[in-house]
Every structure is written in C-alpha cells, then in structure tokens.
Amino acid sequence: MGAGHHRMPFFQKLSQTQREAFTAHSTAQLMSQFLHGEQGAVMTAACVTHSVPDINAKLYAATQTMDEARHVEVFAKYCEKVAIVYPMAKGLKGVIDATLKSDRFEKVMIGMNMIVESMALGSFNNVYRTTQCELLKKLMFGVMRDESRHVTFGHTYLGPLFAKMHPDDLEDCAEFAFQAVSMMWRRPGAATTTDSVDKGFLEVLENSNIDPADFFKGMKEAAEQGITQELPPGQIHSLNDLMMPALARVGLFTPTIRKKYDEAGITIFEDQRVLEAMEGGNPVA
C-alpha cells in the first residue's frame, strides 16, 4: 500500500525500518477506512430498507444490510490482526454523515450505492490486484462480489426514477451528488502540507517515525520533478472509472450541475467500460 509515495526520492532516503513501518501503517489506515465505510453502509442500507417505497427494493436493501454487517465483521477481525484502527477520513465521514441526514431515500442511495460503494469497489479491486497477503486477497474477492451487486442495484433502481422525476427534484438530487463528490475529491497536488491531509495520515507518519515536515517537503520536491501520486497503470481510479460514470448513467449531470463541476475544477468522466466490467462481480486488471 502507499505505492505512490514509494516513488518519491525522499522515501528512498528513509531507513528500511521506516519504509516498512510506513507500508504497514498506511495499509492499516486503508483497512480502517474499509471498516468505517462498511459500518456506515450498514446504517444506510437499513435506512433504505425502511424508507424506499417499493417492496422489492425493500427486500433487496434488507439483503444488502446483511451483506454490510458481514463485511463489518470481517474487516473488524482483520483490523484486530494488524492491532490498530485509524480514524475515519474526513471526506468519507462527511459523505456518510450527509447521507444519513438526507431528506429522501434517493439521496441515501446516491450517497451509499453510488458514491461510497463506488469508491470502495475500486479500492477493493486495487488491493486484490496488488496485495501479497493471501488472506487479504480472498477477503477482497468476496467483498467485491457483494459490492458489485450493491452498486448495480443503485444504478438499476435509481435510473428509471430520475428519468420520471420532476426537474426541480432531479436538480436537488444532482446537487446532493455534487456535494458528495466534492467531499471525496482532492485537487491534484493539494496534499502537500499537514493542514491538507487527514489526521489519520499524520498518525501514520508519526507511527512510522517520519517527520511530517520532511515528508511534505519530499512530496513537493517529487512533484517538481514530475513524480506524481497518480495510480500506476492497471489500477482503477474509483472516482473517474466508477463513480462519475455511475452518476452519468442515471442522469445526475444536469446542465446546471455540469457548470458547478467545471467551476470546481472537477472533470466529469462518463466512460462506462470499467463500471460495466466490474458489475460482473469479477476483478478488473
């Protein structure tokens, strides 16, 4: 984990002990986010079960609630093995809180089935493809099979609803989606100071005996040399490859909202190929 940071010249100057500790703790931080996300998913899936009017959708949401509870259990046990749980990332917490406080079930499904689940599905795939831990690989494969169904349910159910929805209500849902994306999106090159990253990542540095000031100075120097934190080829970018295409598919990029994305500097990606491939429940290379 943290492969992007490993390309930094600064990282190569660290001791082997520091590099190994950073890899271990950044992995623990990622696993912690999976745990927190699944805990949020239990609550939001239960909320959909209660609030969605269609009986068939209620039945499906009930099975999703069971799936998410199983995921919480397995991630909790894995975090027990690594013996540390990091705090929930600010963006993830913001989306889950906004989703649970939203005023209609469509927004709950946007927040969880389309935003959080898409982010998780891409991350699960990338971990599955890169981890050398056989236990974690098996765990990721099983969870991905469930999550791909959850994501598909959101698209399948919401698309026809939005197509018939009053324009004002559709605009309201599109605005909610935009705000949720904004919470999860990070401007390229923005994470270069202690004020621009989550508290949990600073704890990773502290636990790895790495000075934050030196680390962010190293990141800035790497950026100046053209070394970025972009995902390497073959990895899925959750926002670009899954979340944005999902929102596009159900019609949540209205003309008004497109202007807001443009003004915020957030590029809209609409290519459906990776999303469609992942809906089959299998990992994507």
Q: pLDDT in tens for each of the 285 residues of the chain?
A: 445 666 677 888 888 999 889 988 988 999 999 999 999 999 999 999 999 999 999 999 999 999 999 999 999 999 988 878 999 999 999 999 999 999 999 999 999 999 999 999 999 998 998 888 899 999 999 999 899 889 889 889 999 999 999 999 999 999 999 999 999 887 655 555 555 678 888 999 999 999 988 888 888 887 777 666 666 666 788 899 999 999 999 999 999 999 999 999 999 999 988 888 887 666 665
Task: Report yes or no: 194 and 202 within 8 Å, Cβ to Cβ.
Answer: yes
- How does DSSP classify residue 275? H
Domains of the chain, earliest start first: 3-278 (1.20.1260.10)
Task: Report yes or no: 86 and 204 within 8 Å, Cβ to Cβ.
Answer: yes
Question: Is residue 237 classed as helix, strand or coil in its secondary structure?
Answer: coil
- How does DSSP classify residue 110? I
- How does DSSP classify residue 18? H
- The C-alpha atoms of residue 151 and residue 125 are separated, in whole angstroms, by 14
